[in-house]
Chain A
Amino acid sequence: MTDLAHIRNFSIVAHIDHGKSTLADRLIQFTGGLTTREMKDQVLDNMEIERERGITIKAQTVRLEYKAKNGETYTLNLMDTPGHVDFAYEVSRCLAACEGALLVVDASQGVEAQTLANVYQAIDMNLEIVPVLNKVDLPAAEPDRVKQQIEDVIGIDASDAIAISAKTGLNIEAVLEGVVTRLPAPKGKIGAPLKALLIDSWYDAYLGVVVLVRVIDGELNKGQKIRMMASGAAYQVERVGYFTPKQVLTDNLGPGEVGFITAQIKEVADTHIGDTITDDKKPADEALPGFKPAQQVVFCGLFPVDAAQFEDLRSALSRLHLNDASFTYEMETSAALGFGFRCGFLGLLHLEIIEERLEREFNLELIATAPSVIYRIHMTDGEVIELHNPADMPEVTKIEKIEEPWIRATVMVPDDYLGAVLKLCQDRRGEQIELTYAGNRAMVIYRLPLNEVVFDFYDRLKSVSRGYASFDYHLEGYHEGDLVKMSILVNEEPVDALSMIVNRQRAESRGRGMCEKLKDLIPRHLFKIPIQAAIGGKVIARETISALRKDVTAKCYGGDITRKRKLLDKQKEGKKKMRQFGKVDIPQEAFIAALKMDQD
């Protein structure tokens, strides 16, 4: 157990890609947590998908031992957090377990939307903040300008901001000194009844369910009988330990300390993030406030390409869910796609990641349908329905009104692209709330319907701003909307998996966009294929895929037969990746790609 005065708990927060994980690497390396040989770039990003995409998805906690310049040795608990908005809930849990935060800002880019979102969270939670200007090795770095920007936009003192390069290792010791001297030590009572915050939990193949905790008061010992205050369940602590990032076992954790326990917990779902862990016999009087559960905002259907894989998909979802309880799934059936699941995600990146993991780790081929938000349907008989799936839309005559979720979005963008960004927001039915400037960067706050954002808003934003705009949002509430169900008909037959709920004014342009996209996505057939978008019985957009004109091999003799047959067989394999609707084959990727709008 470490005495409180020698503990510092801090999160590293930043906008995506500003170098949090790279800074964590340097801190681990400097304090000797890993040898140079054991080190690799963004060593804490250990999921395959994190490494491939170069982003952090899951927050990680590491304990470091640091001998400070004052001669004392400190125990530092570092939490590396994800920068992407979909995983903002990971940041908030980490912050709840810390007294301080390192606010990393890329000195060549400056303050971005998630910088703001994350730092405001930290300020709201009363954390001490140490600004760190990263990437000063880059020729484009402007540390002084960015310092000024931090003061102007965020309103915190940045005069003592530490200029570093996480890449070259410049000034890393200054960061550690800053942590020790500028962040407060945790408070806590050793003699009091155990009170520990359940920060996170996950499934480990060797250890089973692992629970990450921050002890507030009292002690957490090996063998101790504990109780989860919200769930009421009691367990016997089996192992106690921490990560350096290597897993180290110990006997107990004291106040202010962060570490993990295992306690023969069967499923991750049995643990509640934000729950308070206490002693079974000598419980604390009062639980910690806990967190709001992570909220799924985007829903889509996932169907196996090969209908025979439905059971495999079910078991894959349940196994993946053991590890990531932040998505939901329930069975659904589609006339077009057969049996599948309607799944809820924290955002589109989360959707993409889960889909990719299902395909990769469980060897499945999936069709994902149009992402949708939750609509609230007020029926004429007074009932209120939450609609997750456009296919379930009740009869129009029985609907009194439909409400849709709105968000409050913050966009930061250089002046040059402001016009394009405002147009984009406006086209997506946005309502401007605020427009302020910091230097040549504008900060715009908009209210936007989530269904206009869910699909490709982020892609569009990046494209109209050449990558310079950043974006953050949170859910704001439900408002009535003029919403209709738009169906897509391929060769005169409605394809339910392509239907969507849209704003009436936007329906025509959405419909036209979808038809045009589908025209490119569906290969030409031997006959011409009409594609239509319709509301009720009324066609609002139409395209035609012309029939194949010429497709014949000029030469084919005795030597070509095997090759030709194999080519045909390959084509047939390729066809398996398509779904048949009547006589038309639609490629699986079309279901998502059809929704991407090239322009508004």
Chain B
Amino acid sequence: MTGFGLYIHWPFCAAKCPYCDFNSHVRPVIDETGWCDAIRTEMAHVAALQGDARPVVETIFFGGGTPSLTHGVSIAKILEQARRLWPWANDVEITLEANPASADASRFADYRAAGINRISLGIQALNDADLKFLGRLHNLAEAKAALALAQKTFDRVSLDLIYARPNQSVAAWKNELAEALAFDTSHLSLYQLTIEEKTRFATLYREGKFAIPDEDLAAALYEATQEITAAAGLPAYEVSNHARPGEEARHNLLYWRYGAYAGFGPGAHGRLELGGKRFASACERVPERWRERVARDGHGFVEWNEIAPADAAREHLLMNLRLVEGLDLGDYEKRWGTAPSPARIADLTSSGLVAFDGTRLRVTPAGMLVLNAVIAALID
């Protein structure tokens, strides 16, 4: 249908960034082999659940945390297990998230040898002051070096930036974005800084230690981003993701098109299709507890539930409308037996927030700015 992908979560980082609410942990020593073996064990568990009906793997994603803290051998061992357990498509996309601070030439070469064919590099800002504010371990020079290395080693490179930072003007961001585009990567992830609960930034923000752009400025920054990237030939294909046509992150497209994927490692989530039903899996978040579980049960799942079609339908809608390509309503209704009410669609259409061409329902650029409310209105 929409393909099948594997997500592998590496839950460790060299330091915790103050804005980050991902499942990432700092540990003085990491028994890399032990963790890899545990991931391999969990992979076998999912494959066993799928039995004979093992889908063809189309994409693999090493995310984190900081998977670039691992060595090529670990990646190779995990990929070897994936090959053993599932049939593979001809052109499997295999992405690894890398931090500039842990990038070195031999490591990148090993990743490539292990099978990685796409790198997503977390640069976050293109000036030292902001990198420091964001708590990053690298400076701009190191980021540029890491990027050059990545581009030399891999055909497909994406970079991440966080914008709408404190005191960032539209003009300053436009300049920074132009610099980013000058690196000529085929993919960009551009996220507006979000103050996530239970992060250090949440506390500092609450205490008034810094302010972030208000709604109007945030909207202006967003609009400028759309314009500039489109003009440069990397239009948005998702809320925060931009690519040269054909260079979209296929693994992430799978999430947004609500395809099937298995998630391995601490805190990883999965959505699996078994016997015509859809299941959600979630792994224990705390790395050590996850490992104990794997040692004991062969997997670290703390959740394994069938998703009711009504819930799945809402998940599908909320993911798929993030994509500029929108949602094929006929397919959607066939798949879930439900569809957003035509009255609501008409309402939102008249407000210029969505467009329906008889097949696909798309959120317009104006609608993307208020996507959460558009989704809420359609689901209601």
Q: What residues make up the interface of A, taking CB atoms closer than 8 Å to B?
A: 525-527, 548-559, 561-562, 564-565, 568-569, 571-572, 575, 583
Contact = CB atoms under 8 A, between A and B. Distances in A.
Contacts of B318: 556, 561, 564-565, 568
A561 B194 contact: no
Please name the 9 residue pairs, one residue from A and one from B, whose CB atoms are nearest each other, closest first: A552-B371, A549-B215, A550-B219, A554-B191, A559-B269, A558-B255, A551-B372, A554-B192, A548-B370
B263 A550 contact: no
Contact of A565 (B191, B240, B315, B351): B315
B136 interface: no
Interface string B199-221: 00000000000000001101100
B234 to A, nearest CB: 17
A575 B380 contact: yes
A470 B215 CA distance: 44
Interface of B: 7, 23, 63, 191-194, 215-216, 218-219, 222, 239-240, 252, 255, 261, 263, 267-271, 280, 282, 311, 314-315, 318-319, 322, 347-348, 351, 353, 368-377, 379-380
Contacts of A555: 191, 194, 240
Nearest to A524: B373
A561 B319 CA distance: 8
A568 B314 contact: yes
Contacts, number: 94
A558 B269 contact: yes
A526 B373 contact: yes
Contact of B252 (A557, A571, A583): A557
A527 B377 CA distance: 12
A558 B215 CA distance: 27
Contacts of B375: 568
Given A550-B218, A555-B191, A565 B369 contact: no
Contacts of A550: 215, 218-219, 222, 369-370
Nearest to A569: B314
A407 to B, nearest CB: 46
B322 A556 contact: yes
21 contacts: A525-B373, A526-B353, A549-B215, A549-B219, A550-B369, A552-B368, A552-B370, A553-B239, A554-B191, A554-B193, A554-B240, A556-B319, A557-B63, A559-B267, A561-B255, A561-B318, A561-B319, A568-B379, A569-B314, A572-B379, A575-B380
A231 B367 CA distance: 69
A455 B373 CA distance: 35
B373 A558 contact: no
A520 B380 CA distance: 23
A97 to B, nearest CB: 56
Nearest to B255: A558
B372 A526 contact: no
Contacts of B268: 559
Given A559-B269, A565-B314, A572-B376, A527 B351 contact: yes
Contacts of B314: 565, 568-569
A549 B216 contact: yes
A565 B370 contact: no
Given A554-B192, A557-B252, A568-B318, A562 B373 contact: no
A575 B380 CA distance: 9
A552 B375 CA distance: 10
